[in-house]
């Protein structure tokens, strides 16, 4: 990852907007070709925030509202199904709530610390491709099918279930482990994005921008790709909470292959940017993902 030497430790850059007087009725289509107050080339500087722009305020607000609604409803349903009307199916709305929070934070942290890249795609709702959505859909299907047609725990599941001391209710160590991985993964990814600030990007950068230096402080002192570390273990944690053994293995293989390829490609660029400085950093700093 990179760090901007001129802004290290300072407040992240904020987008600056200049008020431009306009008629009450404004034609967006003609704004690109007609002269606009405060614009010398005839273009409208506000085009990116229009409904069809990459930083559409309408698109951003709609997605934020839907994710917030999804999180609230799913979290409430998970709590209800886990306490008032106990059923293992509480795991499905919990998973949806976790997804909603994850995608909201992807945009929020980008908007807070890297405002110029806070586009609609920063939510990562569709930019990961169809396979990403299929993976989450498969996780929900496995949890639903296994609990409807094969209810109850397996022999291994019973061995990993203990009684908690306060109320004597059964607690699955697998679910607890999933909670821990999910929480650690989410926290580390969010902090890593915030610490990288204006240098974090959801796309691998192939060009070395002026004023950028290698980040080796904060989480990057202990993990050289903490955002990838967080995503990897967050994904596996969700499958443990769902109780999905098939999808757990599938997630592990797919995520490992994805990050292995991405890190290899990204580090080739980093070595070309920083040379021996990055080579030494790579030798001293692990990724935190087995085998990478």
Question: In sequence order, which residues have a C-beta less than 8 Å from that of residue 230 and are 6 or more positions away?
Answer: 184, 185, 186, 187, 188, 189, 190, 192
Q: For residue 31, what pLDDT band results from cuts at 50, 70 and 90?
A: very low
pLDDT at 199: 66
Average pLDDT over residues 124-151: 91
The sign of the torsion formed by the CA atoms of 18, 24, 28, 30 equals negative
pLDDT at 214: 81
Q: Does domain 151-202+209-291 have CATH number 1.10.3720.10?
A: no
User: Residue 67 and residue 102: Cα distance in Å, rounded?
Assistant: 10
Task: Return the higher-pLDDT residue of 82 and 198.
Answer: 82
Q: For residue 171, what pLDDT band results from cuts at 50, 70 and 90?
A: confident
Q: Which two tokens stand for residue 280?
A: 């030494």
Q: Which two tokens stand for residue 155?
A: 């022999």
Q: Judge whether 201 and 117 are in contact, CB under 8 Å.
A: yes
Q: For residue 27, what pLDDT band results from cuts at 50, 70 and 90?
A: very low
SS3 214: strand
Average pLDDT over residues 84-109: 96
Q: Is the pLDDT of residue 153 over 80?
A: no
Q: For residue 118, what pLDDT band results from cuts at 50, 70 and 90?
A: very high
Q: For residue 18, what pLDDT band results from cuts at 50, 70 and 90?
A: very low
Alpha-carbon radius of gyration of the chain? 23
CA angle 36, 38, 43 (to 5 degrees): 45
DSSP E strand stretches across the chain: 2-4, 161-163, 170-172, 212-214
pLDDT at 274: 87
* 154 phi and psi angles, rounded to 5 deg: -80, 175
User: Residue 286 and residue 222: Cα distance in Å, rounded?
Assistant: 7
pLDDT at 20: 37
Calculate what percentage of the chain has a pLDDT beyond 90: 62
Outline which parts of the chain fall under CATH 1.20.120.1630: 151-202+209-291
pTM across the whole model: 0.81
Q: Judge whether 238 and 247 are in contact, CB under 8 Å.
A: no
């Amino acid at each position: 990852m990179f760090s901007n030497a001129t802004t290290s430790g300072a407040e992240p850059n904020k987008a600056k907007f200049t008020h431009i007087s306009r008629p009450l009725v404004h034609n967006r289509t003609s704004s690109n070709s007609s002269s606009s107050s405060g614009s010398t080339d005839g273009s409208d500087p506000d085009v990116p925030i229009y409904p069809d722009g990459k930083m559409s305020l309408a698109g951003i607000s709609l997605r934020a509202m839907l994710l917030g609604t999804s999180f609230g409803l799913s979290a409430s349903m998970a709590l209800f199904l886990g306490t008032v009307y106990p059923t293992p199916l509480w795991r499905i709305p919990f998973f949806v709530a976790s997804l909603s929070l994850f995608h909201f934070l992807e945009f929020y942290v980008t908007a807070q610390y890297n405002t110029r890249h806070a586009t609609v795609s920063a939510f990562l709702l569709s930019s990961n491709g169809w396979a990403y959505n299929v993976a989450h859909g498969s996780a929900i299907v496995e949890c639903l099918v296994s609990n409807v047609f094969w209810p109850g725990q397996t022999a291994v599941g019973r061995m990993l279930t203990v009684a908690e001391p306060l109320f004597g209710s059964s607690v699955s160590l697998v679910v607890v482990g999933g909670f821990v991985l999910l929480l650690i993964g989410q926290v580390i990814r969010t902090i890593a994005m915030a610490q990288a600030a204006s240098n974090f990007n959801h796309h691998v950068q192939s060009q070395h921008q002026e004023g950028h230096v290698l980040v080796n402080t904060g989480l990057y002192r202990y993990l050289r790709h903490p955002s990838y570390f967080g995503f990897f273990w967050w994904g596996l944690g969700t499958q443990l909470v769902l109780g999905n053994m098939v999808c757990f293995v599938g997630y592990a293989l797919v995520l490992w292959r994805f990050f292995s390829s991405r890190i290899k490609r990204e580090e080739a660029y980093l070595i070309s940017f920083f040379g021996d400085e990055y080579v030494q950093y790579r030798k001293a700093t692990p990724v935190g993902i087995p085998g990478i």
